[in-house]
Structure 1
């Protein structure tokens, strides 16, 4: 057999293209329904989240946040004034990223009965995926019922002359670097930019954060970005808003950045956290009459518009670029594929296990900076733009007893956006140390459309930060 010769075709009920958390969960649900399932992956089983995003980034951030919190506690603060042990932090990060080996996740997929095909998978016609293995051999996989595209996204770099020669960091290099650069420029104002600025500043880098817009985290309430920017500045990050990058060069190993205001900034590395694009440019969309590199529009069962066999699950459909939402979609897609394969109807009502309704109005997110920023649902501006008659209710989190006990000088803010017609919550935002663990209560309130009159009877424990719920409800009632 030559290295490019096709080997025999294999037929499955379902073929999953991409073995990140989303693809793994689709496979889990289809296998649980008794459907034969093949999973195709060109890199590590476990995907971006496990090795270059959620897991390693949070492993880097947790020591930085824990140290910042400890420094706010009398009796402990004097013991944690020194620098972090960067080598120990990076070693723990490596452990949580499984040293970039996927044996454990391979074992899990095999344990559920999914078959793994290593190599680059491309659609090659209806219900067909051709896999080119690392050695050049090819296999054609045919799906009886469905192909699920779970290929995620890739980092987008700006069009700057000579940027490729600079070898900039993207989120992958930022989460897998083996040492802290002495000087790091971070370009961007979103989640990756703020989290990595937090982590590497704490690990010893001198960080300059260049933000083209007016502030940070512009998809959240404005006060979220303001509080995070204030804290980053106090931690030593040079935060520059309204600053564009005009050119980047690397001279004798040093990165030289020229900004729109004419400033020259020197650094050892530069990270561009300037957006994501769908990883669909080379998966054979052209063979089924679709545009390579495009987002794939889907219905609430995650089936691609205009198709009866193709599903797009997770980031690739652009509904919510978050791992937990992708896994949620995977559960929906798996149930819908199984139902259609058995000939059962796929329901579209909100109670159905086959409809991804939470992606419309109850998407939670946590930014693991110091302070944390957590939000679910609509911001005030989004609610007003959508035509709702709303009222924002704010409360100073630092005035809550549980927050004050959390550490001296606690700074934070909470907001709930109330639909005045139905008296339910359309959105909630918390900013402050430790608020990431509050967001699920808000998600339940928003997703469940719980009446405010009923929330009054959900009594928060004292003294916890959750007492802010009582204060928000009191502020709504009394004003």
Structure 2
């Protein structure tokens, strides 16, 4: 069809990833008619090219590493991974890149799905161009929520376009193991994918422009991950930039700023993210295409009374769980404003104001060892002007760690605001520490006084007994 249709809804959501789905869920629960526009797969980046496939790839890698540290079990797991089985497991978790189940869920909440590319074409107006050639003009009575996420940002390098490099999408969806893989970057995507593909049989070379891995976390976290990657056979080169890339007879050749030529079968660039706002018609409402959206704590775009930017597009915290948190708040704020009530207050539940995406952002890096952090690092806290003290504990000193694995290596750091006697940041690095981070998140988000944390008694013998050791170290300093 080619005719133009015009349909009105209470709310229009651009993007059907986890963020858009959660906005739609909240607005529909409030009784607001809601249209959702998606140009790719319902479920978005997280479901098909990020969180789910990457963790499905990494789980067997980490489980094998843990098993190799357990007496009586290590000899049974010395062989290679069954890579086809791992990839099949990954495909299962992506539903083979089909979104039937997600569409069924969206239909179940009563939202209307429009497949196609949606652009803002005026105040409260979105024009959708469908694959069938049809144009539909949607108008919103109350709100339009931009939930289009982010994409991999590639550097401007000579020869890069002709190389067809991997981004996070190719790294999580590939069906063949490259014999040699260059990974450019030192952040979360870089270290997770280096961990996975090295375990699958690739010879991985990690090229890091900075001086260490995971630069936004405590230095010891990146040091432990780099040590483990090198022990697994990967090469980690810090202080190294790529100046050009070519593909010669099928082989990738990366040239570094030091003049070295490094050859591989594939090259992955994990060098940051950019907002998916370049072709959304932002110019039609006075905003700059390709920009991050500046929003207030209700996720409403600054200067607008109807446009919301939720999830990665606002650059507050580029993590799926934080985007879903924002979506719940945005949905509640839209519903409250649509009801015609007074300007929003932050109630006891904080239903209408996002704060955790600034002060208490948890993150887990699924490497071997795992890294988990929430709140401020020591350097960030000091830069922000807080009077803080950091206490460090060798995780191997905790009884539960030794039981978990022979030769357990790890470290914990707690950063305390000494003026208020509350925890403002915690970082763990070591096997299985991802399951420790929610307790730290509660301590940071709740601003629990150190004096009260003494009465949160950890079970013995578990790795969580590290909390007792951290508090003792703080007391004794």
For the aligned pair, the TM-score class normalised by the smaller chain equals over 0.9
Contact 1:392/1:417 (CA < 8 Å) preserved in 2? Answer: yes
Indicate the residue corresponding to 1:36 in structure 2. Answer: 33
TM-score, normalised with respect to structure 2? 0.99
CA deviation after TM superposition for structure 1 residue 135, in Å: 1.7
Matched positions, count: 476
Indicate the residue corresponding to 1:437 in structure 2. Answer: 435
Q: Distance in 1 between matches of 2:264 and 2:77?
A: 28
Where does 1:34-73 land on structure 2 (aligned, <5 Å)? 34-73=31-70
CA deviation after TM superposition for structure 1 residue 344, in Å: 2.2
Contact 2:158/2:243 (CA < 8 Å) preserved in 1? Answer: no
- 1:172-208 per-position Cα deviation (integer Å, ceiling 9, x unaligned): 0000000111100000000000000000000111100
Contact 2:377/2:425 (CA < 8 Å) preserved in 1? Answer: yes
Indicate the residue corresponding to 2:424 in structure 1. Answer: 426
**Structure 1, unaligned stretches of length 5 or more?**
none
Alignment counterpart, residue 383 of structure 1, candidates 371, 381, 384 = 381
CA deviation after TM superposition for structure 1 residue 450, in Å: 0.2
Contact 2:298/2:353 (CA < 8 Å) preserved in 1? Answer: yes
Where does 1:182-197 land on structure 2 (aligned, <5 Å)? 182-197=179-194
**Structure 2, unaligned stretches of length 5 or more?**
none
Indicate the residue corresponding to 2:470 in structure 1. Answer: 472
Contact 1:300/1:348 (CA < 8 Å) preserved in 2? Answer: no
CA deviation after TM superposition for structure 1 residue 88, in Å: 0.4
Where does 1:201-280 land on structure 2 (aligned, <5 Å)? 201-280=198-277
TM-score, normalised with respect to structure 1? 0.99
CA deviation after TM superposition for structure 1 residue 352, in Å: 2.5
CA deviation after TM superposition for structure 1 residue 54, in Å: 0.2
Q: Does 1:143 align with 2:137?
A: no
Q: Does 1:107 align with 2:91?
A: no
Contact 1:350/1:357 (CA < 8 Å) preserved in 2? Answer: no
Q: Distance in 2 between matches of 1:263 and 1:408?
A: 39
Q: Distance in 2 between matches of 1:221 and 1:192?
A: 17
Alignment counterpart, residue 330 of structure 1, candidates 302, 327, 332 = 327
What is the RMSD of the two structures over their aligned residues, measured on CA atoms?
0.8
Indicate the residue corresponding to 2:361 in structure 1. Answer: 363
Alignment counterpart, residue 459 of structure 1, candidates 447, 457, 464 = 457
- 1:5-55 per-position Cα deviation (integer Å, ceiling 9, x unaligned): 31x211000000000000000000000000000000000000000000000
Q: Distance in 1 between matches of 2:348 and 2:369?
A: 35
CA deviation after TM superposition for structure 1 residue 350, in Å: 7.0
Indicate the residue corresponding to 2:14 in structure 1. Answer: 17
Q: Distance in 2 between matches of 1:334 and 1:250?
A: 47
Contact 1:37/1:115 (CA < 8 Å) preserved in 2? Answer: yes
